[in-house]
Chain A
Amino acid sequence: MDESPQTPAGIEGSALKGPFAVGAYAEMLREELRGRARLQLFGEIWTLRRSKARVYFELRDARGAVPCAMWTDKFEALGEVGSALSDGAQIVVAGGPDYYPGSKTSSPSFSFDVSDLRIAGEGDLLAQLAALRRQLQGEGLFEPQKLLARPQLPRTIGVITSETGKARDDILAGLERRGWAGKLVWGFAPVQDRQAASAITQALTDLAGTPQVETIIVARGGGSLADLFAFCDETLCRTVAMLRVPVIASVGHHTDQTLIDDVAAESCSTPTHAAEAAVPLDINGERAALRASTGALSRNAGVAVVGRARALAALARVPGTHIARQRRELHQDARELRAAGQRRLLLERERSATAAEVLRRKAVAGAGPDKLARLRTLEGLSIALSAHDPKGVLERGYAIVDDGDGNVITTAAQARAAEDLRLQFADDAVDAKITGSDD
C-alpha cells in the first residue's frame, strides 16, 4: 500500500503500520471481500426496500444478520416470487460479500451481493402463501367482507381488471345476462406485473371512496399461481378486508386460490360469474315477479270489496228468501190439507151413501110382504082416531063447556058452582053465565 506524500505522522508509540490513505484501504477491503468464497445463505428477509438500481433487505436469524443488496434487473427477473416476499419470509440467497468503498461525498457500505434468491422456509411459494393465509385468518380478516350487506340491485358497480383482457368482455356478458344496464366504473389496472398489487390497491381504495359505487368486482382471467401472486399481496388483501364496499373476486383457479379470494365478500371462478354475483337478481325475472305481485294485489283488493259486497247482498236476501220459502211451504201445506179434506169428504160421502143404501135395502128387506097389511091397519086406525077427534064432534053440533080457565065442566053441578062458563063451539068460544037453577 502506497503512502501518500501528504501522509501525516503516525501515532506515537504505536506498533501498527501506517497510517495509510482510507480510500486505498477501502478499495483493498472491497477486493478482499470480493475474493472470499461465494456461497448460499438462508434466513428471514426483513426491511425490503427498493431504489432505482438496487433492492435492499436484511437477512436475519437468531444469531445475527447480514445486509443484502440485489441489482434491480436481477430482482425483476425473479418474477412474481419477488411479489411474495414479505417480512419474516424464509429465503435462500446466493452471492458473496461486497463492499462499497464510498467516496469523499458518499458513505461506504457493506452488503452481501445477492445474485439469486428463492423462497425457502416450508419449501416454496405455496407454503409461503399458506403462512400468510394463516396469519390473515388468525387476525379475523376473512370475515369483515362477508358480513357486509350485499345490494341485490346495485345501481353503480366498480370493476378492476385489465383494460385489454378478456375479463372485461366476460363481465359485460354476465351483466347483460342479468338484464342489468346501470352505471359501470372501470378501474383499469395491470393485473400481473410487479406494480399490479399496488395499482389494484389504489384502484380499490379510489372506487370504495366513490359514494355511488355499491359493489366492486376484481377480475382476472386466470393464470399460473406465480402470475396470480399480485392478488396475494398482503397490503392488497388487508385493504380489501377493511373496505366497507363488498368486493367480489374472480382472479384465481379452482385449485390455486389467491388470498384476495379469501378476504373478499365472495370468490367466483369466472368473471362472468362475478358479474352475476354482483347483480344477484335477474332484472327481467324481477319485472315478471313485480307484475305478478301487482296482479295479486288487485285480485285481493277485488275479492275484498266485491266478494264482501256479494256476501252482504246474499245476507240481505236471506230474510226475503226465508219468508218466501215459508210461504211456499204454507201454501203447499194448505193445498195438501184441502186435498186431504176433500178426499175425506168424498170418502165419507161415499161411505154414507153406501150406508144409506144398505139401510134402505135393509128397510125394504125388513118391510117385506107385511107392508101392505100394515098400511091398511094404519089407515083403519087413522079413521078411528078421526072419529074421536073433538073437533069433529063440535062440527056435528056439540060444544065443550069449561070454567074459563080450561077446566072442563062435565056436570050440571059443576056448572052451577062455576057460575061463569065458556062454551067452545067448532068455530069459536062464547062466555056464558048461569042465571037460574032447575032446583
Chain B
Amino acid sequence: MMSLSLEAILYTGAIGLVVIGALGLVLSHHLFRMLLSLAVAEAGGNLLVVLAGYRGGAIAPILGYGAPGTPMVDPIPQALVLTAIVIGVGVQALAVAVLVRVYRAYGTLDLRDLVEHMQGDIAKAAGIPRSTSTHAPGGERPLPPVPALVRHQPRGGRS
C-alpha cells in the first residue's frame, strides 16, 4: 500500500484538478479567479478524457513508428481534446473580453461589490427605491434568500 500505482496517481490528479476548479468556482468572489478556476477544471476534464483512451504499453497513434503490431492508444479522445483545448482558449478569451468590459463599467471584479452596483443601477433605471428589507440577512456574503422570508418581501431578494 505504500507505493501508489500509476493509475491511482493519474486519476487522482485529473479528478483533483476538476474538483479544485469546481471549488474555486463556487467559493471565490472574484470574477477573474472564477475564470482561472474554470480553466483548471477544464484542464482536469481534458486529462480525464485523454486517460480514458490510454492503453498499457502502447505508442502514440502515428503509423511508421515502433515495431509493426505494437498497440496504439485510442486516437479519438486525443482528437477530441485537441480541439477542446483550442476552443477553450477561444472561450476564455471571450470571457476575458467580458471581464474587461465589466471592469471598465464598474471598476471592480468582486462579485459582492458588483451585486451592490448592479442593484443600484437597476433600481435607478426602474425609478424605484432600492429594496432594503429589514429581513435581509446581515451577513458578509450574499446569502440566498430564505424561502420562508420571501413571502414577506415580494420585491426583495438578490439579482
- Chain A complexes with chain B: no
Give the interface of B toward A (CB within 8 A): none
Give the interface of A toward B (CB within 8 A): none
